């Protein structure tokens, strides 16, 4: 059976259904979607638990909040999702907050310059991009968001409409690339900021549908989720791609998506009790210096480490094991980090050993790598 190359349909292959018909095939494009974790599958920090984020906190992997006031909403990975997806990000308003002019509540993703340089923003060759996503809310009306540069002085506010409450709806927003302003090129800084407004006051709201030389976080007149107590807002299937038409969501396999996330958050999350973590040696009877090798080289060297509970880890040196009571970050590079582990009643200094998880929920997060 022949394969047909057609100028409008692309590559077509025959399908047998009683007769020969053609079936258009869309060629695979690497990194079509510039958004990472757009289907909200990866949640290394919280493993699906609800959190009340503070300003600049990261929630589900790659998704950050920028907020003027704390404790106004919670965020959680949710299993409520449209057909074809297994997860979404859920925002639940914690109060009926009255927006002031300078209020802002935004969920955003900062896309690395290496992944946006080909868009040529800031030049005459700036490419058109299309943002698409599935969204659901207990509220209806016009909602807003923004595309913005790293200097936060070039902004494109946009709107979308939710017509039916508590129903997932598919939205697309096409944006002509910005030919003005300063946009970073192929570096590991912020190449492009994509934000969704959850409630933004007049100071940071601008006219939808045009680039402006200002710092905006949403569109003028957009609905405020945080202004209704108990209001919900879900999002998933977020995709930003080159072109003026939204295409099907770029599903990446789980391993690839996790590795993309770990460039910005090197992490150890135990799969079971007695998972191996790293190797090191004692520097005294109450301290061991341990290494942790990253699964993926980070964007920049980590600057700290946080853990769920230090006692979820054991220092083991052969004849005995000792519970860890605290971790102190020593330093990190492009391949591994070093930590001091406080232990009690350990062996003499210079004794080699290994660090193990002592719980299926043991966690180490190496911080400072996010954009």
Summarize the confidence of residues 256-261 as an average pLDDT. 98
How far is the CA of 110 from the CAs of 61, 64, 307, in angstroms? Answer: 11, 8, 25
Residues 89 and 173 in one domain: yes
**pLDDT > 60? residue 24:** no
Residues 199 and 144 in one domain: yes
Residues 202 and 257 in one domain: yes
Neighbouring C-beta atoms of residue 262, cutoff 10 Å:
20
Q: What is the pLDDT of residue 8?
A: 45
Q: What do you get for the CA distance between the two ends of the chain, in Å? A: 50
Question: Residue 19 domain-assigned?
Answer: yes
3-class secondary-structure state, position 192: strand
Q: What is the pLDDT of residue 19?
A: 45
Residues 292 and 346 in one domain: yes
Report whether 168 contacts 82 (CB < 8 A).
yes
From the list 317, 341, 321, the residue with the least C-alpha distance to 329 is: 341
Question: Residue 190 domain-assigned?
Answer: yes
Neighbouring C-beta atoms of residue 254, cutoff 10 Å:
10
Distance of CA 41 to the CA centre of its chain: 10
Domain count along the chain: 3
Q: What is the pLDDT of residue 18?
A: 46
Q: In this structure, what DSSP letter does residue 136 have?
A: E
Residues 283 and 349 in one domain: yes
Q: What is the pLDDT of residue 94?
A: 98
From the list 103, 104, 69, 106, the residue with the least C-alpha distance to 91 is: 106
Q: Which of 210, 229, 262 is the last residue of a domain?
A: 262
Q: What is the pLDDT of residue 29?
A: 52
Q: What is the pLDDT of residue 229?
A: 98
Question: Residue 14 domain-assigned?
Answer: yes
Tens of pLDDT, residue by residue over 125-149, are: 999 999 999 999 999 999 999 999 9
Residue 65 and residue 349: Cα distance in Å, rounded? 44
Tell me the chain's radius of gyration from C-alpha atoms. Answer: 24
Residues 174 and 199 in one domain: yes
Question: Residue 56 domain-assigned?
Answer: no
Provide CB contacts within 8 A for 30, sequence distance 6+.
none
Residues 95 and 233 in one domain: yes
Residues 141 and 239 in one domain: yes
Residues 92 and 20 in one domain: no
Tens of pLDDT, residue by residue over 290-337, are: 999 999 999 999 999 999 899 999 999 988 999 999 999 999 999 999
**pLDDT > 90? residue 213:** yes
Q: Which of 262, 289, 320 is the last residue of a domain?
A: 262
Residues 95 and 239 in one domain: yes
The alpha carbon torsion through 294, 297, 301, 307 (nearest 10 deg) reads: -30
**pLDDT > 50? residue 250:** yes
Question: Residue 45 domain-assigned?
Answer: no
Residues 254 and 272 in one domain: no
Lookup result for tokens 């609905």 = 223
Question: Residue 4 domain-assigned?
Answer: yes
Task: For residue 86, give the CATH number of its domain.
Answer: 2.60.120.260
Question: Domain range spanning residue 92?
Answer: 64-262
Question: Residue 146 domain-assigned?
Answer: yes
Tens of pLDDT, residue by residue over 267-293, are: 999 988 889 999 999 999 999 999 999
Tally of CA atoms within 13 A in the half-sphere of 251 that contains its CB: 6
Question: Residue 42 domain-assigned?
Answer: no
What is the full DSSP assignment across 19-50?
SEEEEEEPPP-TT---SSSTT----TTTTT--
Residues 125 and 235 in one domain: yes
3-class secondary-structure state, position 213: coil
Residue 20 and residue 329: Cα distance in Å, rounded? 65
Question: Of the ranges 15-19, 61-65, 237-241, 333-337, which one carries the lowest mean pLDDT score?
Answer: 15-19
Tens of pLDDT, residue by residue over 65-99, are: 999 999 999 999 999 999 999 999 999 999 999 99
């Amino acid at each position: 059976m022949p394969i047909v190359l057609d100028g409008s349909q692309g590559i077509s292959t025959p399908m047998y259904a009683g007769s020969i018909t053609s079936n258009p095939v869309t060629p695979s494009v690497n990194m079509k979607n510039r958004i990472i974790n757009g289907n909200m599958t990866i949640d290394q920090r919280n493993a699906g638990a609800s959190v009340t984020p503070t300003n600049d906190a990261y929630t589900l992997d790659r998704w950050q909040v920028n907020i003027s006031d704390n404790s106004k909403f919670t965020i959680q990975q949710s299993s409520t999702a449209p057909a074809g997806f297994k997860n979404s990000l859920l925002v639940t308003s914690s109060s009926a907050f009255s927006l002031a002019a300078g209020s802002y509540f935004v969920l955003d993703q900062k896309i690395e310059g290496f992944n946006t340089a080909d868009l040529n923003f800031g030049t005459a060759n700036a490419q058109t991009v299309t943002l698409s996503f599935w969204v659901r809310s207990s509220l209806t009306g016009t909602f807003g968001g923004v595309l913005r540069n790293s200097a936060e002085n070039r902004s494109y506010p946009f709107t979308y409409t939710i017509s039916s409450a508590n129903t997932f709806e598919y939205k697309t927003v096409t944006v002509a690339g910005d030919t003005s302003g300063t946009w970073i090129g192929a570096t590991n800084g912020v190449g492009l900021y994509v934000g969704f407004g959850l409630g933004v006051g007049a100071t940071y709201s601008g006219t939808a549908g045009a680039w402006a030389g200002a710092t905006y976080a949403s569109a003028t007149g957009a609905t405020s989720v945080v202004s209704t107590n108990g209001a919900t807002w879900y999002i998933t299937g977020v995709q930003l791609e080159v072109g003026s038409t939204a295409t099907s969501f770029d599903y990446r396999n789980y391993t690839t998506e996790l590795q993309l996330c770990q460039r910005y958050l090197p992490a150890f999350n135990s799969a079971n009790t007695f998972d191996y973590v790293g190797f090191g040696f004692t520097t005294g009877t109450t301290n061991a210096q341990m290494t942790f090798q990253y699964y993926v080289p980070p964007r920049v060297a980590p600057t700290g480490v946080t853990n769920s509970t230090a006692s979820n880890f054991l220092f083991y040196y052969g004849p005995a094991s000792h519970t860890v009571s605290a971790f102190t970050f020593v330093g990190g590079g492009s391949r591994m980090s070093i930590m001091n582990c406080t232990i009690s009643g350990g062996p003499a200094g210079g004794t080699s050993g290994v660090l193990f998880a002592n719980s299926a929920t043991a966690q180490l997060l190496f911080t400072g790598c996010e954009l």
